[in-house]
Structure 1
Amino acid sequence: MRVLEGAAALLLLLLMLVVLVDVVGRNVANRPLPWGTEFLEIVLGAMIFLLYPVLAWSGGHITVDLISTRPQIRRAQRTLASVIGATLFALIAWCLGRQAMRAIGYGEATPILGIPLGVVLTGMSILGAAAGLAFVAAMARTWRGKTDAPSHHIEAI
Structure 2
Amino acid sequence: MALSTWIQSHYEEQGPVAWVAFLLELIAALTLFFLMALTCADVFGRYFLDNAVDGTTELTEMGIAILVFAELPIVTWRGGHVVVDILDKMLGNTLIKVLGLFSAFLMSTSLYFLAVRIYELAARSHRRGEVTEYLQMPVGYIVEYIAVMSWVTAATMITYGVYKLFVSSRD
TM over 0.5, yes or no?
yes
Aligned match of 2:105 in 76, 80, 83?
83
Alignment partners' CA distance in 1, 2:46 and 2:136: 23
2:5 match:
none
Alignment partners' CA distance in 2, 1:71 and 1:9: 39
Aligned residues: 147
Q: Report the RMSD for the aligned CA atoms in angstroms.
A: 1.8
Alignment partners' CA distance in 1, 2:98 and 2:50: 57
Alignment partners' CA distance in 1, 2:44 and 2:81: 35
Which consecutive residues of structure 1, in runs of 5 or more, have no partner in the other structure? Answer: 148-157
Alignment partners' CA distance in 1, 2:79 and 2:158: 11
Q: Share of identical aligned residues, percent?
A: 22
Contact 1:63 1:81 in 2 (8 A): no
Shift of 1:111: 2.1
**Structure 2 matches for 1:3-152, cutoff 5 A?**
3-69=23-89, 71-145=93-167
TM-score under structure 1 length normalisation: 0.84
- Structure 1 ranges of 4+ moved more than 6 A: none
Shift of 1:58: 1.2
User: Which of these two proteins has the greater Rg computed from alpha carbons?
Assistant: 2
Shift of 1:65: 2.1
Which consecutive residues of structure 2, in runs of 5 or more, have no partner in the other structure? Answer: 1-20
Higher normalized contact order (CA 8 Å, seq sep 6+, divided by chain length): 1
